[in-house]
Structures are given as structure tokens and as C-alpha cells.
Structure 1
Amino acid sequence: MDHIAHIKNTGGLDNESVTEETVSEHCKKTALLARSYSAPFNMESTVFVSALLHDMGKLNNDFDGYIKQENGIKRGEIDHSYAGAKFLLELVSNDDDKYKKEVARLIARIIISHHGLNDWYTRNNDDYFDYRCSKNERYDEIKSNISELISDSKLDELLNKAADEYRRIFEKMKEICCAKDRKQYFTTLAFYHGLLERLTESCLIDADRTATAEFMEGIEITEPSEDEIRRNWLDMKQRLDNKLSKFSGSDSLISKLRMNISDRCCAFAKNDVGIVQLIVPTGGGKTLSALRFAIEYAVEHKKERIFYISPFMSILEQNGDVIREIAGDDNYLEHHSDMYSKIIDNKHKSKEEVNDELEDYELRCRHWDKQVICTTMVQFFDTLFSSRTEALRRMHRFTDSVIIIDEVQSIPIRCVYLFNLAMNFLSEFMGCTIVLCSATQPTFEQCKYPIMLDKDSSMTGDYTKDFEDFKRTEVVSLLNNQGNTYEEAAVICMDKYRENGNLLFVVNTKTAAAEIFRNVTQLNDEEEIKAKVVHLSTNMCPAHRRKAIDDIRRMLDNNERVICITTQLIEAGVDISFKCVIRSSAGLDNIAQAAGRCNRNGEDDRRNVYIIKLKDEYIEKLGKLKEAQRQCGLIVRKYGCEQLLSVDIMKRYFRDYYEDCACDSNGDMLEYQIRNSNYSLLDLLSCNIIFSNDKGNWKSRQAFKTAGDNFRMIDNNTIDIIVPYNEEASRIIEALNGETTISQALELQRKAQQYIVNVYDYTFKKLAENDALNEIKVRRDEKMYIYALKKEFYNNATGLSTEGKPQEAMFV
């Protein structure tokens, strides 16, 4: 008798005609897919065995009765994930080959976790792996049916091959461990071992879900051939060359300098590259240069994919269309939340066409199977560290790819060690080529857990002259011991504006932006020739911010007078150029990024960037910004401002900043300390000495679920509020307030993404106290709510306000 894994109705509403898929059919299909996913990192037998045995627990009559709805057993009542693991451990229990035993344990963990990651040791020091492998439910019956999947001799042959695969990769892990002491050595080794488990798990989860979808939904996922991949790379190379040829003939000095950098990046693709830096001054055209390298490298070294990773939506929005144009629609995926509203809001397509596009988009986001993928740093980090299986299943797609990480200095301080070690793993074990892009390169290679840069780590060689050639600003310190009030800062702002004709003022907090905007607006009203004063902050919804930035660009292009007061959201990636910039004191990298918005295209010989200290700006809740601000002040006092933005000074800043953060009174901040606990994510994902007192089992103690549940690349303990920015936003709020089906509510929420403001708990409470919110129950049968802001609490200039004021004209 062949046991059943899945059943689908093929006879319409009467349910009389069904198609069955046996456990053997499903497991063998999954195993073939998983093996193909793992081929680039040479773990085929390991992953094949895990996939072949992952549903071994379904080889029993009770599961047949459940799947046929004949015995009253409910979903989740049969544990089908333990049996394959238990069987493997029994099989190798008397084997003398230690690597065979270890790879069997690895495969067993993969099998147990194929529906979700686990903590192998819990907070109570309980051995969860031992608990799962000690179960006996229906085990004798299941074990007696193993021949449906594989013979004993074939399984032993595969395990021997798996042991060789594991031995090779583990020996390499030991070789590349950079450690100053025993604790650091084992932490690094265990962390790499944990990433290996995640990687192999990714292959199984993706293969299992893909095989199931193929059977249940008739979805067929095909992978392009090597010839197709190569043809696509060559087509992209031709399109990029055509685009660059338009710049190469320009007489503009800036264009010539950018082409020189681009040519050096192209030439660098001849090398074998692991992890390198692309250090390009702001305005130096690093995105196209990095993309040119990536395509050239993919052609030269037969890579499968290119990933472009951006920390900010503003950068993705700016660069996404350019990259899509070069990649071609059929080879390109842009994965971020705003894409849903872009698809839904397409007025040129019918509802059926939009639904088809949305369905295809969601499928591609699950698989990441396009050749060029642009996504956010959040998606990138979630794939590596989150506990969500929908993120984890994509991890194997990084294999054999070129990964461009833009504005790498934006990686939060608490994620530095995790990032460094993960990049080492991607490069050494997954065949990835990683390009770290920034004008302000952090000193990751000097950390306690360092990133392993190539010996020839600069793609452009000696970049000193690039920074001299692109120097378009002078930094001037207005720092004093007392600092300036918001009123005094507004006066300084107006003085510098009168001298220059337009001005950008960047601050650290939304409160500071709103206060200075208010004061500058009042002073501007007294001017004979008034400027247009524009506010930017995350109190404005994305649609509002985009319109404001577009308006600023238009005014600057028309040489109109404009003052922009903004938080740092404008600093990286926004291609905009002011004649003067004032920056509230922050990290040196923040100063450099703000300077990149001044005289960006070399309109003048040199323009000034001023640093100011705001007395009333409260930054204690902004992570380590206060420490970054302190380090920047020390650098200014020690070296002055003349070479403040040079590469050497920037390296000194990051080195000192990281050293101070590593010696914080609350622990090493670069380890990702978990709030209200005595442990870090680095510990949970390596030796896990907090949860486990088993000193001999250091390779498999990781608390993947607890670590993944706690991981946030950025703090997002916020509440989404839909704001009535314009008529469309108001219509969405009105529709959500009415009677909707689940699918209609989901579509409306996707449309609302561009009209959402995220607020922290204290702001939410204040809004609630002021009766500023409408509570919308999305599903009538459950306690699921979303919140909409009342009209009088959204200001056309500054966005969300906790103090409501009547508006004569709410929509702009």
C-alpha cells in the first residue's frame, strides 16, 4: 500500500473526483528540487536525504485517514516531522564515522524544522532536539514502511556521500575562523554552522512548498538554463553599454570623472572577487558603476543572479527604474511593500490583469527566481536571520550571485557582527561576490568579528584622487559649548539662506524638524522676497514625502528660492542639490551624506556645509546616535574641518565609534543585545551558552526561533496609521469603514501603504487621548483592527500632528 501525502479535488463542487499524491511521489519530487538548489554549494546528498525523509512521518494509516477526512483527526494532531530525524539517529548510532553521525544530526534538525525554525535548547535548558527525537507516536508502523521512500543500501550510500560533503565544508569553516581567543573561535564556528543549517533548511522548505504548490495548484516553476542565463547577461551588458555611451561623449568634467570610475569597475571584473569595497565620493555614479561590474562579473564568471540591496525606499525608487531598464522586465524583480500599491493602482490594466500581475508578483517574491533582484536591506537581513519561513526559504537564492549592498554605512550598529559573519559565510560557502558601496565605508574589517575583505579590496584602486576631484563642499563648524535653541538655529538658517538663495537643513528628530520649520516659516514671512519653506519627515506618509521631494526638485531646477527642513531621510540616495546645507550634529557619516546633497553636480567650485549643535534636540532614544555625535565632536576638535570628510578621517571615526560601542556599559552593542535580557542575538545564533549548559554540543545549540522572533534590522515596534492625505486616502478609509470581504480589505490595505505613518506607542497614546483616531475592525469575526487618523490631525505641511487643527484645505 502506498501512503498518501496530498489530495486535491479535481471534480468540481461534488468532490467526487480527487487526485492523490503519494508520500513517495511528493518526497522524491521534493528531493530532486532540493538537490538542484544545493548543487552550487556542494551539499546535494545532504539536502537530498533531508528532503526524501522530511515527510516520513506520514507513512501510517492514521495520516491516511486524516488526509482522506475519514477518522476525525484534526490538522496538527499528527507529528509527521520527528520520524525521519529519529530514524536517522538510530541508523548511525553504532557507526564509527564521526562525520556521518554529525551530518545525520544536521539532517535530522533540518527535517524537524521544515515547518518552522526551533530553539534547540530552550530558556529552561531543555534539549528540544532530544525531546523530538525521543517521540514514538506510530513509529514502528512508520519505520516498517520506509521502503516506500528508499532502500537501506541506497540510504547508507547517500549518507556516506553526505558525510564527505559535511567534512569538507566543516574543515573549511575551521580554516577561515579569525579568532583571538577560544571563545571567539567557537562563537564564529558555531555561527557559521548555524548558517549552514539555515541554508540547507532553505533548500528543503522551498522545494517542499514548490512541489506541494505544483501538485495542489498546478503551478509549474521552471529554472532558466545556463545558456538562457548567459544570453540575458549579454543582453544586459549591451543595454548598459548603450546607456553609458551617451555619457562617455559628454564634455562635462563630472561625466568624465564618473566614466573613469565606471571603467575601473568594469576592468576589476576580470579578478576573482569575494568581498570588496566600492568607495566612491557622493555624486560619483556608484550605482551604475556597481551594476556595470556586476553584469561584467556575471558574464565572466557565470553567476546566476545579481542582487541590489538598498537601506532606503528613496534609493530603490530612484534606482529601480534604471536597473529595470537595463535588466529588462522579464529578468527583473523589485521586492518591497510599496510594489503592491503600484501594481494595484495601475489605471491602464483591467482588474483581471491587475490580479494576474499581483499573483505572479507574489509568486516571484516567494521564489526570488529572477536574474536581477532589487530589494530592501530589511528583506535581505530577514532572509538571513528572521524566524519566518517565508523569508528563510529564499536564502539559497543568494548562492552564486553578485550582491551589491548600497549605502553600507547605514547598517545599524547592533547588526555589525551578524552582518560581518554572514557576509563571510555568503562569500566563502555560497559562492557570492559582495560589493560594499559607500562614500563613507565603515571599518567592518577592524571589528572583533571582522568581515573578510579581499586582499585587493578596493574595486577602483587608489580612490584618493577621486575624492579630491569630487570635492565640492567645505565643512564649517558652528559648534559651541552651549548649543543653539530652535529659535537661534532658525535665525542662522535664514542668514545662510540669504547668502545662498536656497538651503537644506537636516536634523535628527521629527520634533526638531517641526520646531525649526515653524520658526523658519515665521521668519520667512517677514522677508521681502520669500522662500518656499518645505518640511520633510516620517510624520508625512510616503505619498506626501514623494510629492514634497518632487516639488523641491522642480523648484531647484527652476532656480526658485526654497528652504527644506528635514530629518535624515533625505541624506542617502536622494539625487538633489542645494547651494548650502546645515546639519545638526550627528555621526561623521551623517555629515558626509548631508554634504552629498550640496553642490552635488559641481554647479559651483565649492559650497559650505555647516555643522550646528541643537540644544533642545532630544536624541537619547535614537540608539547610539549620541555616541556617534560625541565621536564626531572629538574628531572636529582634534583634526578641524578641512579634511573632515576624507577617507582617512572617516576610518578613524568608525574605528573609534565601534570601539566605544563594543565597550558599552550594557555590553558589546555590536552583538545585537536583546532588550530586557542578559543575552545577545550573536550568542543565540552561535554557542547559546545562556540557554544550554551542554558544553560538549556547541555545534547545535542555536536558539533560531527566539533569535529570529527578536531580530529587527530597524526598530519597528510601531503602529500603522492610515492618514487622510488626499481624496484617494480618504476613500480608502471610508471603504475600510464599510462592509468588506477579507480579500477586499486586504486589497484596500495594500492600496493604503503609501498613506501610512508609523508611530511609536507614546505618540499613539497621545493621539488616542486627543480622540484623533478612528478604529476600524477589519475582520468582524476577529479582533483585528487598523487605525485611521481624523482629518484635522493631518497637516498639509508637516504631516501627522497630535494636536488637531481645523484645515481650510486639507488636500494638496
Structure 2
Amino acid sequence: MEYFAKSVPNGGSKEEQVTLKQHLDDTVKCAQDFFEKFGHYFTEKEKAIIIEACRVHDLGKANIVFQSKINKELDVIKTQEIPHGFLSAMTTSPEEFKNHIPEADNDDYKAFYTAVYHHHVREDKNGDDIILNFCKKYYNPYIRDFLNDESIKAKVSGINKYLLFRNTGSISGSKYIMSCYDKNEYLHEWQEFVLIKGLLNKFDYTVSAGYTEAEDCSAFTTKYLKTSIENIFQQHGLRPVQEYMRDKCDKNLVVVAPTGMGKTEASLLWLNGEKGFYTLPYVVSSNAIYERIRDRYEYKDVAILHSDSMHYYFEDQVNETDSDGYEKYQKAKLLSQPLTICTVDQLFKFVYKALGTEIFAATLKYSKIIIDEIQAYSPSVIAAIIYGLKIVTDMGGKFAIITATFPPVLGSLMHKYGLMADNQYEYRDFSALSDLKRHWIDIKDGDIEIDRVVEDSYDKKVLVICNTVKKAQQIYKSLTEKTDNVHLLHARFTKEHKRMLENEIIKFSDSENETGIWVTTQLVEASLDIDFDVLYTEMSTADSLLQRMGRCNRKGRYIPDKANIHIYNNANGVGVSRAIYNREIYTCSVECLEKYIGRVMTESDKSEYINKVYCTDEIKDTDYYRDIEKFLAMFKELTPAEYSKSEADEKFRDINSIKIIPDNVYEDNREAISECIDIMHSSDADKREKNDARTKLDSYVISIQLYAYKKYPDGIDRDVIYGSDIHRSCIMYDFNVVDLTGAGLVLGEYERDIFV
């Protein structure tokens, strides 16, 4: 009898059957080829165990129930199936394992066994008697035939003996089976399991996607990106921070450098041609860095990965920037490019120890990871980064944190959880080396002064930053009553319109002669590379405020002799629960700012300011500090499979949201939307066509966060558009695609009187 593994893509749209033997051989070869290039990151034992996992991972597919589903020549057997990963693990034995890998011990076998058993995410609710009966009837005779070995059978009695944990689908049933572990032993065995399963998944996914190489290594020998940066800076020479990071490429680093000192290029030089991930707080900032690397340095082996990256690749393909956006997106998901620009949620979800997230930690073992502007994240994400970096360094990966400001409290928390300066990493602050004098601040109580903004806009580029979308829309409306030269950018535009606005604000910033006003939210703080003449901003916490200041006189085009940063202390968006800014830190930020009012604020002043506000002794009794500690403690105590991968995504992003399409957008694009939904559910469409349709459909969508509401906001359909996860909405949506003006989605205002 011939045994098959699955149907796999062949040239995109066609599919062909692949035999089980061929799939196993291809997966092993993929692993062996990988280790020829990356083997120096791994011990000989690690390599041998991972290859052995590849050799046996799909043996369980030899069961006749599975074969009857994919082999058209067999009659379908309708019975409860045991997941093939479970059967594969039970087919192995510790004796055979140690014969293949003499240096391995019982703990290694347990990690190996668990990785094979759980290499797909399946709930494990069957009793051992059910599994045993299935094996006797549907598996043992066929695995003997497949392996041509009459002595082979599944050993059900070993499940609880060798599994580190079982995925029962409930928290109480997912705890580690063995209770004798101390924390260090538990962590070591979990890390070994993560490495084996993560790389097994990587090689399996690669082969199943129709590729032969798990990593695109084209840039590793030439170090093209590093050479390109050095050539561009050759005329004036590298800056101090760039020389430092280039020369410390074998170290973990925390580097503080003001805007304009070239820290982005410094971090890319630190990569030194090795595999890397560059993480940023926002999708829009990821897009900007990606384009900068791809276009300025002509580096094509760079990928982008975030919640909207498929849409980004689709637009590039439409605009002929990229010839095959779908394939680049697939490779980005496989983490196979030499350099990937991404948001942290794409990598650090493994801290929740959810099955299916191991590939991220395993890939980071042989990679370098850059964390840009760590202070910009929420306490839960900061905790995930700190805990994740400790795991990655323990496994062998390297990190560099690059930031314009590094709150001392973060260094203290890193030290507390095992990442110590001068031990696990080197710390260097370059603020004192900057002679830029870019900012002069004043501060007032109350709301932003509309007339003052308008007057400045006659001969300047004026940026207005508000703490909430609601306030930004109010300011925008007031400004439009006095001038036509004003635009608005925030998160409540459709993806397509937001991308238009992002491109337009960059174009406006780069223009030498244009003047006018852009009203925005914190969306632009650490994302867009824009440079305005003057900033009007609501007061925020110190870290956020300094990021906002970086959008004004960014390149130090002039030394101000009067205020070019106008701050308004009105506590908008400040509170305790679900507020944008923590009240305690906000208050401290206001108090510590007084010293710098009425004069130029130097880069050293900014470091001094952030250090005062985020001094560990001053902040350790705040909710901000307690929240970070709470999440760090939680990550330490978590055991595998307490969370599912989807739950880890939700926890990491801390977003409870729904997707909507405003009625006027829906009516203008009704035919295109229906066509996209039809393609997504068509049996004739391949994965590429369905992904393109999903991406195009998402371009009409706005995500609405629900955590501020006890129920859906008024004006949103409770039912989704047929065949999708998107709701229609009669909430007012205002946007003019010709002149790129409008308020976006205005909560509380409606297109028609009767709510849907």
C-alpha cells in the first residue's frame, strides 16, 4: 500500500499528492541543509535531536483513517481519529532514540517526545483506552507495513511517562504532569521543547509550502546591507553610535541616542550580516523603516511582518514595487528572510507558552533582535519583551535595545529578572555627545489655542498632537472653520485612506515650500519620519512627550530663540483604568518639566528629564511599575498550553475589537466587496487569490476597540456581512479622496436616523 502525507502547493495554484516517505525525507533534508549553514549556533546533540524529530514527526499519518481521507482509492473510514502527532510520538522509544543519539538522556527524550506529540495543536481529551483501541485497529498494522518492521507498535503506556504536559483544552488539565520540577529545571526542559518543536515546525511548514530552504541565506556571505550603509556614510564617516554598534556586534546592547545620531543605521550595522529582526511599536513605523532599507540601501532581502503586512505587499504588487507580493508574504510568515521588519506582537507571543508559538523563540536562537523605542509600549508588552529577551539570551540569541530615551526603571526591572548591565548586556548613552539644540518649550493649562495655531500656519508647517481621537476631531473641526489648509490623521480611517494620509503627511513634511496644519494623535510619535516647524501638543507622560518633540525641528534645521514646542496641560486621556496615560506618571511628568521651561532643552536635558520621571525609587509604588511586575511574575509562573495561540494574540495586543465598514464606504464599493467575499469562499480559488481578496476587503475596514463599551456602540450592525467577520455601520464617516480631508469615523454621529 502507498501512504500519502498531504496535498501540497506546486507552482502556486496546482496541487499534487506527496507520499509520506517523500515528505519525511524532504523535511529531514530541509533540516540538514539548514544546519550546514547555521549549525554553528547549535550543539551536535541539538542538531541530532531536531533531525530525529523531523524523521519521525509524521509517522502517525500511516493510520488508515487518515489515509482514507486523502487517498481517493480508499473508502473513507468514519470513526474518531487520534491526531497523527500523538501516534508519531508513541511510535518512538527511548532506547531507539538513544541509539540514534548516544549523548542524549531521559530529559532530552521527554522534550523530543513532547515536541513530536504536540507538533500540531490538537486537544488531548481521549482516554488511554480509546487511544489503545484505535492503535490496535487502525494504526499498528499499517505502521508496520509502512516501516516494514513487524515489531513496531504505538506504546500508549508511555504517554504520561514521557510527556512534559498534555493539552487538554482546560487550564487545570494543562499543568506540567511532573510535579518534582524546580523552576530552573522546568525552564530548561521547556526551552529544549521549544527549540525542538519550533524548528520541527519551521522545516515542516517550509516543505509543506513547496520550498526546499528554510532560510534565504543570500545576504549572509556578502553582508550587502552593512556594506551599503558604510558606502553611503563613507564621505562624512560613521557617527559615534554607529561605530560603537558596528564594533560591538558580538554583544547584547542597550544604546541611548537622540534623534539625528543615526541609531537606525547603527543597529543595522550591529547585525553584521547575520539574520535579524527589527521591531517597532507601530505598523506605520515598520512600513517606513522597511521602505527606507529597501529603497535607500537597495536591500531587497528584507521582509515586513505585522497585522497589515499582507495588505502592504498587495499594494506593492499593484503599484509594481514588488513583482510577487504573495510569495514575499508567505516567506515573511515562515520567518525565512535575512532581515524582517515587524511589530513585537509577531515575535514575543511565545512568552504565553501557547502551543504554536514555539517557532518564534526557536528562530530567535540563531538571530539578532533589535528593539526600537522600548519605552513606547504598555506595561504588559514591556514585561513580555523583558521576559522574552531573557529566554532568547538563555537560548543563544542576541538583542540590541535602541532608544532616544531609556527610563531607569526598565533597567532595574531587567536586572531583577536576569538581564544585568555589564553582564548580559552593555549599556551606553550617547546623549551628551549631541550638540543639537532643537527645542524650546512653553506650557499652559487648558486646551490648544486655535487662533494661535492658525496664525503660525500661514508661514510654517504646524503639527498638532492630541491624546485622543475625539479631541483631535474637535480641534480639526474648529480649525476648518478658520482655514482650509488643515488635514487630520488618526486610527479611525479605513486602511486604504489611512495609508493615503500617511503618504501625504510625509510628502508635506519633505516639501520645502508648503505650509499648513496637520492634526494627529500619538500615532505619529515614534512612527513617521516627519519634520515640522512648530508643535502644539496636549501634555502626556514624559516618554510620549519627548517622542512628540522629535517630530518638530527633527533635523535641527535651526536653533530656536523662542518656543517652538507649545504644551497644553489639560489631562485629556489621563486616568487609572483603561486610560491612555497613567495619572501618577502624568503628574510627575508635569512637575519635572518646570525646570526646562523658557529655554532651549538640550538632548542631555531630555535624558535628565526622563531619568527623573522614571527613577525606580520614585515610580515603584505606581500602577505602571506594579503592572510590569505583575505580568513578569505571570509569565514566570505560566505552564505550557494554559493559553491557546489565539488567546495569546488577544492577551498580547490587549485589544477587544470588531471590524466595521461604514455605510457610505460600503455603498461606494458594494460590487468589489461582494466579489472579494465570493472569492474568499470559492472552492475554485487558490490560497493566493483568497489572500488577495481578503487583503482588498480589509482595505475598506476600520477596527473599533470595544473595551471602552459595555456593549457595541450604537450604529453598528450586530450581524456580520454575509461570509465575513465584518459589520456594517451607519456611524458617520467623513473623507474626501480628492483633497484627502475629512474627520474619519465620528463616534456618536450617524448617517441615518434609524440605527441598523
TM (norm. structure 1) is 0.72
Amino acid paired to 1:416: I
CA distance in 1 between partners of 2:506 and 2:440 (Å): 23
Who is 2:726 aligned against?
Answer: 786
Q: Which has the higher helix share?
A: 1
Post-superposition Cα deviations, 1:203-235, rounded to whole Å, max 9, x if no partner, equal: 112222333444xxxx4447556xx544431x3
Q: Distance in 1 between matches of 2:132 and 2:186?
A: 30
1:611 to 564, 567, 584: 567
Name the counterpart of 2:265: 288
Which residue, out of 590, 593, 607, partners 1:633? 590
Shift of 1:286: 1.7
| Aligned counterpart, 1:364 | 331
Instruction: Assess if the C-alpha contact under 8 Å between 1:117 and 1:705 holds in 2.
Output: no
How many angstroms does 1:659 deviate by?
2.2
1:253 maps to what in 2? none
Tell whether 2:353 aligns with 1:380: no
**CA distance, structure 2, for counterparts of residue 707 and residue 604 of structure 1:** 49
User: Could you tell me which residue of structure 1 aligns to residue 174 of structure 2?
Assistant: none
1:511 aligned partner: 470
Do the aligned partners of 1:408 and 1:438 also contact (CA within 8 Å) in 2? Answer: yes
Determine if the alignment matches structure 1 residue 436 to structure 2 residue 401: yes
Q: Which runs of 5+ in 2 are unaligned?
A: 153-163, 165-180, 736-740
1:197 and 2:196 equivalent? no
Whole-angstrom CA distance in 2 between matches of 1:237 and 1:28: 37
Which one of 319, 323, 333 corresponds to residue 289 of structure 2?
Answer: 319
Match of 2:230 in 1: 241
Using the alignment, how far apart are the partners of 2:615 and 2:183 within structure 1? 22
* Other-structure match for 1:650: 610
1:50 aligns to 2:15 (yes or no): no
1:206 aligns with 2:199: no
Aligned residues: 688
Cα distance in 1, alignment partners of residues 134 and 440 from structure 2: 75
Alignment of 1:777 with 2:742, yes or no, is: no
- In the other structure, the counterpart of 1:264 is 244
- State which of 621, 624, 628 in structure 2 corresponds to 1:670: 628
1:364 and 1:292 map into 2 onto residues whose CA distance is 24
Aligned to 2:155: none
Does the 8 Å CA contact 2:310/2:326 hold for their aligned counterparts?
Answer: no
- Among 533, 546, 554, the alignment partner of 1:600 is 554
The one of 428, 433, 458 equivalent to 1:466 is: 433
Report the CA distance shift for 1:492/1:613 in structure 2 as closer, same or farther (over 3 A).
farther
The amino acid of 1:399's aligned partner reads: K
Q: Matches of 2:572 and 2:198 in 1, distance apart?
A: 48
CA RMSD, 1 decimal: 4.6
Q: Report the residue type matching 1:472 in the other structure.
A: R
**Which residue pairs with 1:33 in the alignment?**
30
**Which SS does the other structure have where 1:801 is aligned?**
strand
Match of 2:157 in 1: none
Residues 195 and 362 of structure 2 are in contact (CA less than 8 Å); yes or no, is this contact kept in structure 1? yes
Cα separation, 2, equivalents of 1:322 and 1:32: 36
CA pair 311-85 structure 1, distance change in 2 beyond 3 A: same
Query: 1:686, 1:702 within 8 Å by CA — same for their partners in 2?
Result: no
Q: CA deviation at 1:610?
A: 3.5
Q: What is the SS of the residue equivalent to 1:540?
A: coil
CA distance in 2, matches of 1:458, 1:437: 13
Query: Partners of 2:8 and 2:368 in 1: how far apart?
Result: 40
Matched, 1:569 2:523: yes
1:421 is matched with: 387
Describe the shift of the 1:548–1:203 C-alpha distance in structure 2 as closer, same or farther (beyond 3 A): closer
1:714 corresponds, among 653, 660, 664, to 653
Q: How far apart are the structure 2 equivalents of 1:617 and 1:9? A: 50
Query: Counterparts of 2:624 and 2:555 in 1: how far apart (Å)?
Result: 41
Query: Does the 8 Å CA contact 1:723/1:794 hold for their aligned counterparts?
Result: no
Q: Which residue of 1 aligns with 2:310?
A: 340
Shifted more, 596-605 versus 329-338: the winner is 329-338
Q: Name the residue aligned to 1:659.
A: 620
Aligned to 2:620, the other structure's residue is in SS state helix
Whole-Å Cα distance in 1 between the matches of residues 624 and 459 of structure 2? 43
1:232 maps to amino acid: T
- Match of 1:541, as an amino acid? T
In 1, the alpha carbon distance for the partners of 2:707 and 2:410 equals 35
Shift of 1:446: 0.8
Counterparts of 1:132 and 1:612, CA distance in 2: 66
TM-score by length of 2: 0.77
CA distance in 1, matches of 2:573, 2:17: 66
Residue identity matched to 1:314: V
Map of 1:445 onto structure 2: 411
Amino acid across the alignment from 1:532: N
Pick closer, same or farther for the CA change 1:514–1:386 going to 2, 3 Å: farther
Measured against aligned partners, the alpha-carbon deviations of 1:75-114 in whole angstroms (never above 9, x if no partner) come to 972332223444557769999x998222222122212211
